[in-house]
Chain A
Amino acid sequence: MLRFVLRRFAMLPFALCLINFLGFTYAYFARPIRAASTPYLRQQVSNPSPLLESYAQYISDIFHGSLLKPFAQGPQIGSFAQNIVNSLVASLGLLSIAISLSIIFGIVLGLLAVRNQPPGVRGWMSFVSTIGLSMPSFYIGSLAILLIVFVLVFRGPNSESPIPIHGFGWDNHLILPVIALMLRPTVQIALVTAEMLAGEFGKQYIIASRSFGHTWHDIRWRQAMRNVLAPIILSIAGSFRLLVGELIVVEWLFAWPGLGNLLASTLVPGSLSTNLGANALFLDPTIVSADITFIGLFFLIADLIASISVRVVDPRLRGQDEQEPAGGVI
């Protein structure tokens, strides 16, 4: 177990460096290609030096603190590092709240959906999960906004929105982005919880426990839940990845100034732009690489936590680490 954790931690910096380099390389090559397809950008975007030289310069800038200087152009105020950190904090906060609520609601919903006897998943769960998984996050967000618009129309002119539908703040600004983000992961976690528990309830030891007089409450929480916790944790990790993917769309929709919004700003042409270039951040290799690195960090940390957690809750997996040679797939 310890060896596994150490190995994963040791791999983390290498993986991040690789992701950073790939992100930089991608933006380096994509920038002129994308510009070439835009007539007014054709002659304005070119790479000043070869890739490795540019990357070395970028790394050198990081170590010499050049990235602490303010942006030369663009809508953001403050240094490069400051902007990245601000975006990181905004995204991390949003993600933490959304995933926490998804886990709580998902598990509760899953428990409500499971049927003890005969074991199975209640019919409504299938309905709810199919609908929930069919809803794109921007659609959930736009529905919520439509609802608020109706409220505003109903209240009459000069009335204020009950919930902010745009912008940043650690207050009720969080409500709509969190709802848009958490719905699909919630349903996913609920479905996995219900299906795993239903499968568990059909097993012999549950019948034996019932015959010994244990209550369903005890069986659920003390026996069945322990056995299904590992797959639920893995599904939470999967949901987290889904959530990070959705982050771009949701932050863009609600103008939440996080990493997703920043990445979208570099990739997306935007609805308004100058004729001289899509925007100041247009596929900027330094920003894209930093952004991708932090998003990659989210993935790796989520994966690491999930891998350690499943080994903590399921002793059977710890044994596999000892037997499985390096590189084996569980």
Chain B
Amino acid sequence: MSDSQLVSAQVALQRGEIANARKLVAQVLLADPKNEQAWLLMARLASTREQVIDCLNRALRINPHNRATITALRAITRSLPSTRAAITPPKAGRATLTAAPAVTPRPIQTQPTARKSIRLTVAEAAEPTYLPPRRKVNWSLLIGSVIVIIVVAIALIGPLLAPQDPMAEHAIIQVGDTWVIPPFNAFQVPGYPLGSDQFGRDMLSRILYAVRPTLIMVSIVAIARLFLGTVIGLGAGWSNGRLGHTLDTAISAALSIPILLIALGAITVLGTSNGLIPFIIGLSINGWGETARFVREQTQLIKGQLYIESARSLGGSTLQILIQHILRQIMPMVWMLFAFEISGTLMVTAGLGFLGYYIGGDVWVEVADFVSRRISGAPELGQMLATSWVNLLQPWPLVLTGSVIFITVLGFNLLGNGLRSRLNPEFINRNSPVALLRQRFNLFFEENFSYPVSNWLRANRLRPVLVTSAVIILAGSIYLYQVNASQRFNPALAALSIPGGEIWASNRVDPYGTNYINSIGPAQPEELWLFHHEGGYSGNPVISADGTVYIVGQDGLLLAFNPDGSQRWQMNLPEEPLGSLAIGPQGVIYATDAKGGLSAISTDGNLLWTYTTDASGRPNHGAIIAPDGAIYYLLETAIGDTLNAVLPNGQLLWSVKPGSHAADSGLRLTVDGKQILVKNAVVNSSDGSVVDLTLPTADNRVYADKAVLFVGANGKTYLLAGHVVMQWKETSQGFTLVQSANWNYRGAGLNQYSSLPVDSGVDVKGNIWLYYSNVYEGTYIYWLDPVGNIIGNFREPFNQETYLVGIDGADTAYVCGIGQDPTFNSIGGLCQANSPSGETPLWTYSLPEGSFVITGAALAPGRLYLLSAEGNLIALGDAIAVPTPTTTGP
């Protein structure tokens, strides 16, 4: 009983309720006059100096060896040097103090502090100047704070300090005359002060990058644990009934079961590739036990206080008392608990990482036939641990990553210990400027916010319930709507529009080459009409804003069709056409020809001008038209391609050699119109100068020539490097990687240097599609999210003559090819529509008799136009009313 009263007194003292504290201590002393702790506490509560001395004397009498008491008495004697002269020494070498007149003056002996003994009288002690004992340096707090500040600083600015790209791999490096293979040891290779991991990635840079995501994750988990622990602890400590017992049992259970086991199980189920959520859930399920236990104990302690009883008698509700009285007592401890939670979470995260469970999940690389090895992508401490364990004789990466975790955990543990000491009422200095400031702030907050809100809530009992319910329902509805809306086609997400509002303006839809239309394609493959032209077509059809479809036959006949299939006009081009047509912002049609020239045709079928050139090369992909009307097209040849820029009036703006050789890739204009991407080169559109840009694939002999720069439908620039798509931007330092979608292509059975994607793109949401097609492995499309997690894939039954038409606004991919049955026998030309998540195609369309190979196609809202090698133009769509098919010859 006395102990709890003393604790209550300490709490009251901490709150500044001196009178209450004094009363509590007095009760203890009445019951047990020989309680040393009570006398010491009373000394702190005494208002006059003589009372302080008397209390200390009494405590010293009970425990003569208490150094703290002796030190306090010494301090008092030292604080009055002027009075010492008047003191009469009773015995040499001994200091004698007298107590206040209110109590029996009884001299006590202390350690000699001076050669002269002193005797204090009441008159001499009239001006008390009590000095507390000198406080010890809180080394835990000091060192812990320094470590934590450094760690937080690394989390904030670490990536800026990283000397190298944390993702850059190096298979072998020459140091002097020797070749070194990873993992490099510390200081073994210049530029790698902390060595490298097994893939030759700089450990220092990876650590500088890794601290941030790890710290964010553990902070979120720590907050979640803190919240759960506080709520459950409050309930367990407050309730004596069934609820209390249940929560007590829950706390015991949470403390009994290892967090690592539960986290492993939960994360396994939820999947590591789903980002932070599985880790937050897995690590918070039973990690709150320690906090809950602490809060429960504190709640039980505070619950017995008189002021809680007073609050109850004044009509305070349980919730009010818990929030306004108990929680407020516990809140100062929150920072200490937070520090411990972070260190605890980090320990478990490290264990999980070591076992291969980290944010983002597994990435596999094939190291031999049918054997894969797991690697990690973006740096995170858990990930680094997972892949740092190469073999027993190369523990350096593991030790280094482990050391970073150890130092961070140590820092937070020291900080927690330091805060625990600091928050001990014995060491709190309530007169410090910070404490005074805090008191004033608390007072202001209570008077102006806490109490008014509390009174309003009390006066309007129903309102808060209704308001809270409404807010929860509203927030939930908004969230669900957003989740739902994000999964549907959302035109608002569309960042790019085709200049002039055309529907399909060039070979790859638009001048940016996204191969993505911002509308929905046909839901059903109804054959609306068919047009046959002997000899076949060149390139893709193009579709103007009003739905007019333009196609050009290989014989040079340009045809315009209305959406219903009726022919609008036809005209003969001056040269043999090559590549797709293109439509400019004003509706002008541009056709490239086999001699490298360019013709412009008006919307009513009149030839406007023709540009001819002496440059060699073939414009296999046609032209693209910039929003300002400038026309760009590439003449491809093995001896060096030529990029031409022509003004809308037919005059040459510039002509350059971008450095590519038979690029076999469509041109892409950047969204700002300032640059043109020519496969893996960048050309300024203003003057044709080639931008000096070193791509990450430059040193890779296989990928260097296959890398393709492209623009996503979200307007951002990307690089297709092998199987990996990287978002990048150009800065003063050249090519700057923004995000790399490293994904488990090995796990999907793809070879590192073969079976590379033939096309790729990005939709408006930033999701990446990779289109693979080869004779041996078939045709398939993988969908990845921006960080490389697989969000869908489907396989087409095509092994040859495959053609990816494009992706529509619902991310449906339209693919055509010659279908095969399971025994690899051809079953004729097919087209299929596939959604990213669909196992089976949305629809399958068999080409009509006489059509096998699709050579060109274009998508429009609810329409798909196909050009077959056999000379058929087929319009597929949703419309039930099918116009009369027309068949004409040249």
Contact = CB atoms under 8 A, between A and B. Distances in A.
Interface stretch (A66-74, A141-149, A214-222): A141-149
B265 A275 contact: no
A269 B260 contact: no
Interface string A39-51: 1100000000000
B273 interface: yes
B373 interface: yes
A159 interface: no
Nearest to B274: A37
Interface in A247-278: 248-249, 252-253, 264, 267-276
Nearest to A144: B395
B410 A131 contact: yes
B252 A329 contact: yes
Contacts of B371: 272-275
B355 A142 contact: no
B373 A248 contact: no
A272 B395 CA distance: 18
A30 interface: yes
Given A33-B269, A274-B370, A126 B417 contact: yes
A244 interface: yes
Contacts, number: 159
Contacts of B140: 126, 130
B67 to A, nearest CB: 6
Contacts of B399: 139, 142-143, 146
Interface stretch (B434-442, B539-547, B743-751): B743-751
B600 interface: no
A47 to B, nearest CB: 14
B866 to A, nearest CB: 31
A166 B256 CA distance: 30
Given A30-B265, A276-B370, A248 B271 contact: no
A168 to B, nearest CB: 15
A157 B357 CA distance: 36
A58 interface: no
Given A29-B269, A252-B355, A135 B395 contact: no
A118 B67 contact: yes
A189 interface: no
Given A29-B269, A274-B371, A275-B366, A267 B264 contact: yes
Contacts of B361: 37
B374 A39 contact: no
A120 to B, nearest CB: 10
A190 interface: no
B841 interface: no
Contact of B258 (A131, A133, A149, A245): A245
A283 interface: yes
A145 B392 contact: yes
Interface stretch (B222-230, B400-408, B422-430, B565-573): B400-408
B373 A271 contact: yes
A99 interface: no
Contacts of B6: none
Contacts of A146: 395-396, 399
Contacts of B255: 238
A39 B839 CA distance: 13
Contact of B354 (A138, A145, A274, A329): A138
A34 interface: yes
Contact of A271 (B258, B260, B389, B406): B389
Contact of A165 (B260, B370, B392): B392
Contacts of A136: 347, 350-351, 354, 402, 405-406, 409
Interface in B701-749: 744, 746-749
A29 to B, nearest CB: 7
B461 interface: no
Contact of B268 (A138, A145, A283): A283
Nearest to A166: B392
Given A269-B362, A274-B370, A245 B261 contact: yes
A241 B249 contact: no
Nearest to B63: A207
B355 A268 contact: yes
A328 B246 CA distance: 10
Contacts of B398: 138, 142
B375 to A, nearest CB: 10
Interface in A220-253: 238, 241-242, 244-246, 248-249, 252-253
B384 interface: no
A275 B370 contact: yes
Interface string B363-385: 01011001111100000000001
B485 interface: no
Nearest to B366: A275
A136 to B, nearest CB: 5
Nearest to A33: B269
B79 interface: no
Contacts of A246: 260, 351
B260 A273 contact: no
A39 B790 contact: yes
A58 to B, nearest CB: 19
A146 B364 CA distance: 27
A133 B140 CA distance: 14
Interface in A93-132: 117-118, 126, 130-131
Given A39-B744, A242-B258, A264-B355, A138 B265 contact: no
A273 to B, nearest CB: 6
B65 A117 contact: yes
B571 to A, nearest CB: 51
A303 B749 CA distance: 49
A133 B413 contact: yes
B393 interface: yes
Contacts of B256: 241, 299, 303
A37 B273 CA distance: 8
B111 interface: no
B793 interface: yes
A327 interface: yes
Contacts of A126: 140, 417
A295 interface: yes
Nearest to A207: B63
B402 A295 contact: no
A126 B374 CA distance: 40
Nearest to B269: A30
Interface in B48-104: 63, 65-68
B248 interface: yes
A38 interface: yes
A134 interface: yes
Given A145-B395, A275-B372, A245 B350 contact: no
B664 to A, nearest CB: 29
B354 A269 contact: no
A44 to B, nearest CB: 13
Contacts of B393: 149, 152
Contacts of B414: 130
Contacts of A244: 258
Contacts of B63: 207
Interface of B: 63, 65-68, 140, 245, 248-249, 252, 255-261, 264-265, 268-269, 271, 273, 343, 347, 350-351, 354-357, 361-362, 364, 366-367, 370-374, 385, 389, 392-393, 395-396, 398-399, 402-403, 405-406, 409-410, 413-414, 417, 744, 746-749, 790, 793
8 contacts: A38-B747, A149-B395, A242-B258, A248-B261, A270-B356, A273-B364, A275-B747, A303-B256
Q: Please name the 5 residue pairs, one residue from A and one from B, whose CB atoms are nearest each other, closest first.
A: A245-B258, A139-B402, A134-B410, A329-B248, A134-B409
Interface of A: 26, 29-30, 33-34, 37-40, 117-118, 126, 130-131, 133-139, 142-143, 145-146, 149, 152, 165-166, 207, 238, 241-242, 244-246, 248-249, 252-253, 264, 267-276, 283, 295, 299, 303, 327-329
Given A134-B347, A272-B371, 15 more contacts: A37-B273, A39-B790, A117-B65, A130-B410, A130-B413, A142-B395, A207-B63, A238-B255, A248-B355, A249-B260, A252-B354, A267-B264, A273-B372, A275-B372, A327-B249
